[in-house]
């Protein structure tokens, strides 16, 4: 018989039973469910709501059940619907009436809200740890490439020279914000909903603050309707995860491009590439492509939860059971992607010569040539015009600016002198950009130092 079977005269249709049952996916919250029940039972005993002896027996037995689950000794029953009722059923089968006292002053509605919050808190901490590890690898790559000059792009057209360190630190900043978003989401997940009951709290004098403290929550929810029907924290996490994978995907896209025969800026390691079943010469960047591909899936999870929640009247409705598969999938996907992405960038080989020669063509120093004229007293708009003409001449004659003779320079503007060559070298272009946030080695070094401070303070 169902735990709620009292008012029913018929058994649940077996198809409806399967349809309703969530055990196949919510079983992963068994730890959180048991820890939550242990805290609840302890509090019931402490507040004399149930006999102390029963509370002790419940706690002891729940610990045994936890061990049995972890040792693979327990098979959950589809019939018991979800993880909450599965565990309560097992408990009651072991200790009878004492077990039946556990659910005093509690509803599955506040119980599931508690479990999913606890589960998400644990997962956020793990994902932050993965991002921290990735950030350390990025700092390492940046440190080693402060002088690795490469082209920076706008519109995927060569724009100005930067360094690989500067480029790498751009992604460091993105993942830094991701960590901040996760910490932020954590703080709003860290509120304890038990005591909200089904929707209107309870008549028992529960000590909610005690339960919150036992379970490591910062505070308790302040409205019972909201306590059971809020899934903002699930959506916030799905949103933060979507942004993380968007960043991973952009990075992957760049690496796929850099790994092409046309670019050859990097070479993916054999250990992170795959071959073709027909073309013997192929070495494909599958890891990067798969991460880019999985982005759609995480966005889908976010859209799905948002859409599920949009029409739900207060308070709990069964629709909300649909939040779990989505958020579990988003979490699993991110936890697969971050470490493998890190492995891929740590093992890839950088080709500094190709990056350097790539930085040279395409007039990436044209802005600096204009700035040279400005420093000699010419207004910027006029300098822009002069250099524009110079570029047109260079294109006609198949030359780079650095290949001009001094006579050619002077025919464009007589204020140009021999120091022009130094002024428009790629090294000067990069290292003159020595302001906060700039690509000069000194400026990037400061960003790296700040990066280490950030990592150490998480």
Longest dimension (CA), the chain: 102
Judged by CB under 6 A, which stretch of 313-321, 343-351, 429-437, 449-457 contacts ligand ARG?
Answer: 313-321
Q: How far is CA 375 from CA 14, 115, 221, 350, in A?
A: 83, 65, 62, 36
Residue 236 in tokens: 């916030």
How far apart are the C-alpha atoms of 93 and 309, rounded to whole Å? 36
Which of 54, 82, 110, 236 binds ligand ARG (CB under 6 A)? It is 82
Find the shortest distance in angstroms from Cβ 82 to ligand ARG: 4
Phi, then psi, of 90 in degrees rounded to 5: -65, -45
Comparison of 234 and 369: residue with beta carbon closer to ligand ARG: 234
Q: Give 155 or 318: the residue with its C-beta nearer to ligand ARG.
A: 318
Q: Choose the binding region for ligand ARG from 8-16, 154-162, 171-179, 318-326 (rule: CB under 6 A).
A: 318-326
* Per-position x/- string for 261-290, each x denoting binding to ligand ARG as judged by CB under 6 A, each - no binding: ------------------------------
Shortest Å, Cβ 320 to ligand ARG: 5
Judge whether 84 counts as a catalytic residue.
no
115 binds ligand ARG (CB under 6 A): no
**Rounded CA separation 206/315 (Å):** 21
Nearer to ligand ARG, 330 or 424 (CB): 330
- The yes-or-no answer on residue 276 being catalytic is yes
Kindly tell me which residue out of 124, 185, 194, 320 binds ligand ARG, with binding defined by CB under 6 A: 320
Query: Which of 445, 403, 199 is closest to 316 using CA atoms?
Result: 199
Q: What token pair was written down for 29?
A: 């919250």
- Give residues 196-215 in contact with ligand ARG (rule: CB under 6 A): none
* Active-site annotation holder among 9, 93, 155, 271: 155
Q: What's the min distance (Å) between Cβ of 230 and ligand ARG?
A: 13
Q: How far is CA 112 from CA 33, 78, 214, 216, in A?
A: 8, 17, 17, 17
Q: Which is nearer to ligand ARG, 88 or 371 (CB)?
A: 88
Nearer to ligand ARG (CB atom), residue 320 or residue 440 = 320
Question: Is the CB of 321 or the CB of 333 nearer to ligand ARG?
Answer: 321
Helix (H, G, I), strand (E, B) or coil at 322: helix
Note whether 424 and 369 are within 8 A (CB): yes
Q: Check binding of 231 to ligand ARG (CB under 6 A).
A: no
Nearer to ligand ARG, 26 or 88 (CB): 26
CB 207 within 8 A of CB 181: no
Candidate list 102, 112, 345, 348; residue touching ligand ARG; CB under 6 A: 112
**Tokens 């992405």 sit at which residue?**
341
Could you say whether residue 7 binds ligand ARG (CB under 6 A)?
no
CA angle at 48 for the pair 39 and 211, rounded to the nearest 5°: 20
For the CA atoms of 376, 381, 383, 386, the dihedral, rounded to the nearest 10 degrees, stands at -160
Number of residues that bind ligand ARG (CB under 6 A): 9
109 binds ligand ARG (CB under 6 A): yes
Q: Which stretch binds ligand ARG (CB under 6 A): 106-114, 203-211, 382-390, 448-456?
A: 106-114
Q: Is 75 helix (H, G, I), strand (E, B) or coil?
A: coil
Distances (CA, A) of 321 to 26, 316, 331: 9, 10, 17
* Backbone angle region of 106, left / alpha / beta, with phi > 0 → left and psi within -120 to 50 → alpha: beta
Whether 178 and 131 have beta carbons less than 8 Å apart is answered as yes
Query: Rounded to an integer, what distance in angstroms lies between the CA atom of residue 458 and that of residue 179?
Result: 9
Residue 114 or 429 with smaller CB distance to ligand ARG: 114
Q: Would you count residue 106 as binding ligand ARG (CB under 6 A)?
A: no
Contact with ligand ARG (CB under 6 A): which of 40, 101, 103, 108? Answer: 108
Question: Which one from 14, 125, 219, 276 is the annotated catalytic residue?
Answer: 276
Q: How many angstroms separate the CA atoms of 213 and 164, rounded?
A: 47
Using CB under 6 A, which residues numbered 15 to 34 contact ligand ARG? 22, 26
Summarize as ranges the residues that interact with ligand ARG (CB under 6 A).
Answer: 22, 26, 82, 108-109, 112, 318, 320-321
Q: Would you please indicate which residues are annotated as catalytic (active-site) residues?
A: 155, 276
């Amino acid at each position: 018989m169902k735990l709620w079977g009292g008012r029913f005269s018929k058994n649940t249709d077996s198809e409806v039973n399967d349809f309703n049952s969530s055990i196949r996916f919510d079983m992963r919250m068994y730890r959180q469910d048991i820890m939550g029940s242990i805290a609840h039972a302890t509090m019931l005993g402490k507040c004399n709501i149930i006999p102390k002896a029963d509370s002790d027996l419940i706690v002891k037995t729940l610990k045994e059940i936890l061990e049995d689950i972890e040792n693979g000794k327990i098979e959950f029953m589809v019939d018991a619907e979800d993880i909450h009722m599965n565990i309560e059923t097992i408990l009651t089968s072991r200790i009878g009436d004492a077990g039946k006292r556990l659910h005093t002053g509690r509803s599955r509605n506040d119980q599931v809200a508690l479990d999913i919050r606890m589960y998400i808190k644990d997962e956020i901490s793990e994902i932050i740890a993965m991002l921290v590890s990735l950030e350390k690898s990025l700092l390492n790559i940046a440190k080693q490439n402060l002088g690795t000059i490469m082209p920076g792009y706008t519109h995927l057209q060569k724009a100005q020279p930067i360094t690989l360190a500067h480029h790498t630190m751009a992604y460091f900043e993105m993942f830094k914000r991701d960590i901040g978003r996760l910490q932020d989401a954590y703080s709003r997940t860290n509120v304890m909903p038990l005591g909200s009951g089904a929707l209107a709290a309870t008549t028992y004098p529960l000590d909610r603050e005690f339960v919150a403290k036992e379970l490591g929550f910062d505070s308790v929810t302040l409205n019972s309707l909201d306590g059971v029907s809020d899934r903002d924290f699930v959506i916030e996490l799905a949103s933060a995860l979507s942004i993380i994978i968007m960043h991973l995907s952009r990075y992957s896209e760049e690496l796929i491009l850099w790994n092409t025969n046309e670019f050859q800026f990097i070479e993916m390691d054999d250990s992170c590439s795959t071959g073709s079943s027909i073309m013997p010469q192929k070495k494909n960047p599958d890891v990067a492509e798969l991460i880019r591909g999985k982005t759609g899936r995480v966005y889908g999870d976010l859209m799905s939860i948002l859409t599920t929640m949009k029409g739900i009247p207060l308070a709990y409705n069964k629709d909300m059971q649909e939040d779990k598969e989505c958020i579990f999938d988003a979490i699993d996907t991110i936890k697969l992607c971050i470490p493998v992405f890190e492995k891929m960038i740590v093992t890839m080989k950088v080709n500094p010569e190709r990056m350097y020669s790539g930085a040279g063509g395409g007039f990436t120093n044209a802005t600096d040539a204009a700035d040279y004229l400005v420093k000699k007293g010419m207004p910027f708009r006029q300098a822009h015009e002069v250099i524009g003409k110079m570029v047109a001449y260079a294109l006609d004659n198949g030359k780079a600016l650095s290949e001009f003779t001094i006579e050619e320079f002077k025919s464009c503007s007589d204020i140009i002198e021999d120091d022009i060559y130094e002024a428009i070298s790629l090294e000067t272009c990069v290292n003159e950009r020595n302001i906060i946030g700039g690509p000069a080695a000194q400026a990037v070094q400061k960003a790296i130092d700040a990066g280490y401070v950030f990592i150490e303070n998480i």
